[in-house]
Structure 1
Amino acid sequence: MSIEASHLTESAQKALLLTDQERIYKIKSDRWIGYPYAKEVLQQLDELLKHPRNNRMPNMILIGESNNGKTMLAKRFCQLNPAFDNPNGDSVIAPVMYIQAPPVPDEGRFYNAILDSLFAPYRPSERVDKKQFQVLKLLRYVELKVLVVDEIHHILAGSLHRQRAFLNVLKYLSNELQISIVGVGTKDALRALQTEPQLANRFKPIQLPRWELNDDFKRLLASFEKMLPLKHPSELKQDALASRLYAMCEGYIGELSGVLNTAAEWAILNGTEHINQKALAEIRWTPPSERKRQIDRAQ
């Protein structure tokens, strides 16, 4: 490998041997950027996993705006704690489970999601109490410790009665199985929890704020650059490029990933092999606030 590739991680260097289309495919694939605050949150999640079972298990709610890395962080926690063979039984041990909350607060659909994650056979039309019995039995069997519920703000899509009923399900599972529950959602999720004060008191809120244009953001850019398989350095952390990228992503890490992926693809297809001001201009990226204004004007 030539010295030009010294700006990349070992994995990204190996990707330079791929065809252009294969590199573009790799660029578009999910990747984990382990920035310092994300590592702190993962450590707190790990503490939930290590917590001894008791009658009042600690819970956490991970809050952030849309496209700011909440789901990626939650899934990373799950990837770091996969299911493994149970040497004393026929099934696996699954210490962590990830599911999405149903689009409306519905107990039956929630149990369906859990059973789907366990690849367990069930009839969608089955009575809720039977599904509940099956879920409890299986989650005990796999020795679940932490249940991650993404999009938990969907609770607000139902009436106040249904919101409270759904939150009672979460409280019941936590109490009955002595597991921790991690909710993931927007700031509206906190409002949803307030309808059940006893449960809200058990949830520690963790905020994922938007990035600011500072040294931390420039270090984030440097981390992204090392993972994008481009043949030449882009020097994304330089002031002019960093400012332009920040204006395009507006501090959302998901938006930043989209901008860089699109610009990297342009750089490969046009033979420049690095991201510069021309690449950022050519991709014609619309910042999220402008997209929202366009939607508002169209209504």
Structure 2
Amino acid sequence: MGEHLTESLRPWLQKPASERIAHLQAPRWIGTQAARDAIDLLQAGLDRAPALRTRGVMLIGPYANGKSMIAERFAIMDRRRADAARNPRRVVLVQTREGSGLVNFYAGILAALEAPQIKARDTSAKADQLDRLLRQLKPRVMIFDEFHNCLRGRRRDIEAIFAVLRRFGRDYDLSPALVGELSIFDHVMLTAEMASRFQLAPVPRWSYDEAYLSLLDSLEAALPLAQASGLSDAPTAKLIFELSDGLIGETVAIVTTAAIAAVRSGAERISRECLRDLGYIPLSRRRQSLAREVLA
């Protein structure tokens, strides 16, 4: 029993159902090739020599496909290294605020730096405050998660934000990492000058292939279920792929939900019947789902 699990996970089979369910519900890092490649590009931004014209990274892909987890993983890695060596942290993770304009953009960075917000609508005051903090803290990489949030506005506001990113590189030797949807790529590629400043780290939608089957095998080995589920067997794998729309976030959500149901029912394995019983509606079909019609 449990031969399908990683060795470190097998003791979990002896734990109460409530503890196993809590383990299943906890966020988990999935080191896919795209994720490892993105981490390597971000790390290169930390390890590079000082430069007046720094290069950044675009971490681009569809929603629910693991981009934010990659960004958070990299920031956590830096924090652990810095705390262990008692050094300053070199990575800043910014949750980009909705709306274009420098006031919102600066406010998001100041919040990430845990700085007090002064003169809420005063752009110059926020810029001065941020300049002082960057001179003091000297970060090397600044990650802007959901960067597409600040691209929904007037063209001149968007150009001002990109001008600030260029200034950060010139004045503070700071490499930006822009995380989000395809619109980021489109805006950066509008000019050769901006395009030359960023490397692409794609996080594409999955195809139904050997790589996806390997992903399912890795997930199954990390689920504390007593019986093997055979998630990579063709009928089950195809069903999970169809329900997930090829998105890793959806794949993990489906498998996790099914595993929790298997623990609660005592089945201790994920079957096709278990997956169908979830009533899971793919993201691409939710707008046309019966659940939406009931709400209308």
TM exceeding 0.5: yes
Q: In structure 2, what residue type is equivalent to 1:33?
A: I
Matched, 1:13 2:10: yes
**Which residue number in structure 2 is paired with residue 48 of structure 1?**
45
Q: In structure 2, what residue type is equivalent to 1:49?
A: L
Offset, 1:237: 1.2
**Which residue number in structure 1 is paired with residue 25 of structure 2?**
28
- Give the one of 44, 52, 66 matched to 1:69: 66
Q: In structure 2, what residue type is equivalent to 1:58?
A: R
**Which residue number in structure 2 is paired with residue 237 of structure 1?**
232
CA distance in structure 2 between the partners assigned to 1:169 and 1:222 by the alignment:
44
Q: Would you say the 8 A contact 2:118–2:125 is kept in 1?
A: no
Offset, 1:57: 0.6
Matched, 1:121 2:119: no
Matched, 1:220 2:225: no
Q: Deviations over 1:84-120 (max 9, x none)?
A: 2598xxx951111111211112322222222222222
Identity rate of aligned residues, in percent? 29
**Which residue number in structure 2 is paired with residue 134 of structure 1?**
129
CA distance in structure 2 between the partners assigned to 1:130 and 1:11 by the alignment:
52
- Give the one of 253, 276, 285 matched to 2:271: 276
- Give the one of 137, 158, 168 matched to 1:173: 168
Q: Would you say the 8 A contact 2:41–2:201 is kept in 1?
A: no
CA distance in structure 1 between the partners assigned to 2:222 and 2:276 by the alignment:
22
Matched, 1:200 2:195: yes
Q: Would you say the 8 A contact 2:57–2:176 is kept in 1?
A: yes
Unpaired segments ≥5 residues, structure 2: none
Q: Would you say the 8 A contact 1:164–1:196 is kept in 2?
A: no
SS in 2 for 1:5: coil
**Which residue number in structure 1 is paired with residue 159 of structure 2?**
164
Q: Number of residues paired by the alignment? A: 292
Q: In structure 1, what residue type is equivalent to 2:276?
A: A
Q: In structure 2, what residue type is equivalent to 1:23?
A: R
**Which moved further from structure 2: 189-198 or 252-261?**
189-198
**Which moved further from structure 2: 119-128 or 64-73?**
119-128
Offset, 1:126: 6.4
SS in 2 for 1:228: coil
**Which residue number in structure 1 is paired with residue 150 of structure 2?**
155
- Name the CA shift for 1:273/1:85 in 2 (closer, same or farther; >3 Å): closer
TM-score (norm 2): 0.90
Q: In structure 1, what residue type is equivalent to 2:73?
A: R
Offset, 1:58: 0.9
Q: Would you say the 8 A contact 1:112–1:124 is kept in 2?
A: no
Offset, 1:164: 1.2
- Name the CA shift for 1:145/1:289 in 2 (closer, same or farther; >3 Å): same
Q: In structure 1, what residue type is equivalent to 2:176?
A: I
**Which moved further from structure 2: 193-202 or 96-105?**
193-202
CA distance in structure 2 between the partners assigned to 1:120 and 1:18 by the alignment:
43
Q: Deviations over 1:110-141 (max 9, x none)?
A: 22222222222232526322222222222232
Q: In structure 2, what residue type is equivalent to 1:152?
A: F
**Which moved further from structure 2: 103-112 or 158-167?**
103-112
**Which residue number in structure 1 is paired with residue 79 of structure 2?**
82
CA distance in structure 2 between the partners assigned to 1:235 and 1:259 by the alignment:
15
Q: Would you say the 8 A contact 2:95–2:112 is kept in 1?
A: no
RMSD of the TM alignment (CA)?
A: 2.3
Q: In structure 2, what residue type is equivalent to 1:183?
A: L
TM-score (norm 1): 0.89
CA distance in structure 2 between the partners assigned to 1:243 and 1:132 by the alignment:
51
Unpaired segments ≥5 residues, structure 1: none
Q: Would you say the 8 A contact 1:164–1:195 is kept in 2?
A: no
